Structure 1
Amino acid sequence: MLRESALATIRSLVQGLAPGEEIDDETPLIERHVIDSLSLLRLVTELEEEFHITIRDTEIRPTHFATIRAIRDFVARKAGL
């Protein structure tokens, strides 16, 4: 249940970075340029605040931010969800 709640929160955060974009949980965010380097930094900050986690620079990898589900899985590992 917590993972689904986290998924909804992450979906909302990503949608906030790209209003008007049609994205789903498997949309390739980086490949489709839904998020770029600046919006990625904003997303990292929002994830840290929302989930009370710390994301180190070395953890900011394309695989962790490829899709909304990938972000959820990464955050779940960090937050122990």
Structure 2
Amino acid sequence: MGLTADEVRDKRFSKARLGRRGYSEVEVIGFLAEVANTLDGRGNVTAAQVHNVAFSTSLGVGGFDEEEVDDYLDLIEEELAVRAEAG
């Protein structure tokens, strides 16, 4: 079985390293909440939306590690694509 809504809700990311850009924590958490709702059957986020999502970034002020978030979004995109194909 693929990702579950609870796994998405519970996902934690590292902070961006000092001097590196990081994604807005508020935006990432909000988007993952929408994804979790979709996985629960209460939302409509698509694989294409996950592929194209863009978050604000900040330099040196924190935020989530971009590479870590992007890697997780790849897993979510794949999960939503598989579910869409299964119909």
Q: TM-score, normalised by structure 2?
A: 0.26
Higher helix share: 1
Q: Which is richer in strand?
A: 2
TM-score, normalized by length of structure 1? 0.27
